[in-house]
Structure 1
């Protein structure tokens, strides 16, 4: 439990530092100049965000939500959604495959023993029998753990991939829109983002409630 609390504390600290640095950078450069700087980086800006998001999913101890917000702020909504969704499809598929191919021992090395209880919890919930429950779990903030957990079950690729694609299509746009709306001052994007985040919170609540009563 001590290791788990330490990792949670480091994760929270990383998110705070990352957010503070982004705010300072925006205040110093301004949105227009920041976007201009990003354009000068060319393809390396989306590639960098792709790698950050990809790594944060394969190694769940790293924060991932901040990168979705960052993608919206730096790349805009359309490109930001494309980058984050591609990163999630690739990383989640890899997590599922690693878990299915090499089993629990490799997963423990990647995520640490302190986080294995989450993966074991998802693997023991018989998600492979309920497509909608699997999709709902993949829409929560623990989707990276869910991918490893489902990989430890007998769920086939043909059932996992559609659930993954649906969950990514529904859960990523609100967070990317939040970043784009904050920096661009777009009221519609912010309203969409807040409604989407609220919807995801509702899904998470019902998934956790079902788990508690199971």
Structure 2
């Protein structure tokens, strides 16, 4: 198995573009709608808004082609850092659990309903890394940016659910925290933090594209 091929520049730039678009949209929502109006709407909605955030975030994991990056900064802007992080992580855990058990129960046949054909090589690359339990945590770090596909792939293995969700959530939490913090920074006015945050999230996007390219090419 060859794993030394370099990732394509287009994959890295595509990841950066998608990340930038999501964060830009989150910024537009927070500034043009107005953070006061946004938080007032959230407060008036009460538990309905809380449940909606969790369900929306879970849905973006179960239906893999949907993008859920924008939900993190908006949750951070609307609820603050810790509540926003808690809600999004809860949604991620719920969605990952559903994806895990769907693939475990129905096998690869279920993937055509919730993932796109273009994502099949990524799932195959993840499965190669999940050949044994000892490599599971390392594989989760390698594919940090593909938690939805990783959850489906993990369900196709014999990895115990509790071990899966513990490692899966622990690796994803710092990434989610970075996205949620971006929304909190928009509200707090600490604009000087946007530069290091932007650099950090860009590096994550490049890293994800790099691991995807290496994993897919290595499995060929």
**Taking structure 1 as reference, are residues 32 and 203 closer, same or farther at Cα in structure 2, changes over 3 Å only?**
same
Alignment equivalent of 2:41, drawn from 27, 37, 58: 37
Greater RCO structure (CA 8 Å; 6+ sep): 2
Q: What's 2:64 paired with? A: 60
**Taking structure 1 as reference, are residues 192 and 159 closer, same or farther at Cα in structure 2, changes over 3 Å only?**
farther
Q: What's 2:9 paired with? A: none
C-alpha distance in structure 1 between counterparts of 2:22 and 2:159, whole Å: 38
- Structure 1 runs, 4 residues or longer, greater than 6 Å off: none
C-alpha distance in structure 2 between counterparts of 1:25 and 1:150, whole Å: 36
Contact 1:81–1:172 under 8 Å retained in 2: yes
C-alpha distance in structure 1 between counterparts of 2:90 and 2:38, whole Å: 24
Stretches of structure 2 that go unaligned for 5 or more consecutive residues are 1-13
TM-score normalised per structure 1: 0.77
Alignment equivalent of 1:93, drawn from 73, 97, 102: 97
* Larger deviation, residues 160-169 vs 57-66: 160-169
Q: Report the alpha carbon displacement of residue 203 of structure 1 after superposing the two structures with TM.
A: 4.9
C-alpha distance in structure 2 between counterparts of 1:177 and 1:35, whole Å: 16
C-alpha distance in structure 2 between counterparts of 1:188 and 1:39, whole Å: 29
Length, aligned pairs only: 201
Cα RMSD after superposing both structures: 3.2
